Structure 1
Amino acid sequence: MDTHEIQTALEKSIEYYKKSLFEYSPEQFVTKPNAQEWSIGQMYEHICMSALYFFFKRANYCLEQRNGQIGGDKNIYGEKQFKYNSFPPTQLKIPEALKGPEPVAKAQEDYLVLLDQIMIQGKILAERIPADRGEYKCIQPAFGWLNAHEWFWLNEQHFRHHLLQKARIDSFLINVNN
């Protein structure tokens, strides 16, 4: 996908997340299906913080040629990720060694601001990335060495992937309320 197509797809996902944000009561927003799964609020926290402080940060590192290297390859998982333009359609488990603290949900209104920030930063990156030669890369723990375009694309795929999680939690919340 080219950068414009990625940005368009990202904006579509962000608009959906924004529209969905207030379909939940404040209680539903923080209700976890079980001890191992996140609430909707935790999921919003994860996708927003991942975009701003992981995916976009690494894309910028590549554009600024810092915290990475010239060259490097994706591993087999990275090759499949971009070949199929999608995370696997399953619930993924982060290895214990890579897990950070469990996300803490903010107020629902805060995510409107964060999603707007992601939209703005995405547009800025989408303007800068086409001029990049793609040679400078930063490591992604699960996929190998990615350039700015790939980090940007992976963020869009990440937003889509979490729609599956959102659907699972939505189903739980519907069943709890019936």
Structure 2
Amino acid sequence: MSPTEVYPNLETIVNQYINSLDDYSDEHFFFKTNDETWSLGQMYEHLTVSSQFFFLANCVRCLEKRKGQLGGEKTHFGEQQFKYGGFPPVKLKIPDAIRGPEPVAKTREEYKSILAKILVDSQNLIEAVSNDDGSYKALQVAMGWLDAKEWYYLHEMHYRHHLRQKTELENQVIS
């Protein structure tokens, strides 16, 4: 999918996350059922940090032809991801070898502005990513070598994937 096709769905999904922030109390936003499960706030932190420093950053790296390489192939998992247009409908666990520290959530108000900025940054990349020839790629550990368009699409897939987790976490704090 082209960035012009991806962006409207990304905008709709990110706006769902923004609008939901008003539905949570601070207690709900930071609530954890156990040490293995994130709070809603931690999930928001993961989404926003991933957007800024991973997905969008790798789009820019590909456009600037830095910290990657010319060419490269996707892994089997990467091929499947793009063939089906999304993550598999299962819980995924980040391998210990590449997992960072547990996310530390900010306030709900901060996420409203961070997510709005992510939408602006995503919109500002549409033209450049659309015009990219796809020859320069950056490595995604599980999926292989991705070009700017693929990183852009993966960004939207990532937000969509976490909608399931969002619903699950919301149900835990409501019950």
Q: Distance in 1 between matches of 2:159 and 2:87?
A: 10
**SS of the counterpart of 2:145?**
strand
Q: Is residue 2:29 matched to residue 1:29?
A: yes
Cα deviation 1:2-53 (Å, max 9, x = unaligned): 2111111110111111110111100110001221010000000110110011
1:6-85 mapped onto 2 (5 Å cutoff) = 6-85=6-85
SS at match of 2:97: helix
- TM-score, reference length from structure 1: 0.97
Mapped partners of 1:34, 1:168: distance in 2: 14
Gaps of 5+ in 1: none
Partner of 2:152: 152
TM-score by length of 2: 0.98
Which amino acid in the other structure matches residue 41 of structure 2? G
Q: Matched residues in 1 for 2:63 and 2:114: separation?
A: 23
Identity %: 47
The letter for the 1-side match of 2:88 is P
How far residue 63 of structure 1 moved from its aligned partner, in angstroms, is: 0.2
Alpha-carbon distance in 2 for matches of 1:168, 1:135 = 39
For 1:34 and 1:158, the matched residues in 2 are separated by 24
The CA distance in 1 between the partners of 2:15 and 2:54, in whole Å, is 21
Aligned residue pairs total 175
Alignment partner of 1:97: what SS? coil
1:94 is paired with a residue whose SS is coil
* d(CA) in 2 for partners of 1:171, 1:128: 40
Distance in 2 between residues matched to 1:125 and 1:61, nearest whole Å: 12
Runs of 4+ in 1 over 4 A off after TM superposition: none
Structural RMSD (CA): 0.6
1:121 and 2:124 aligned: no
Question: Is there any run of 5+ residues in structure 2 with no aligned partner, and where?
Answer: none
Question: Partners of 1:26 and 1:60 in 2: how far apart?
Answer: 35
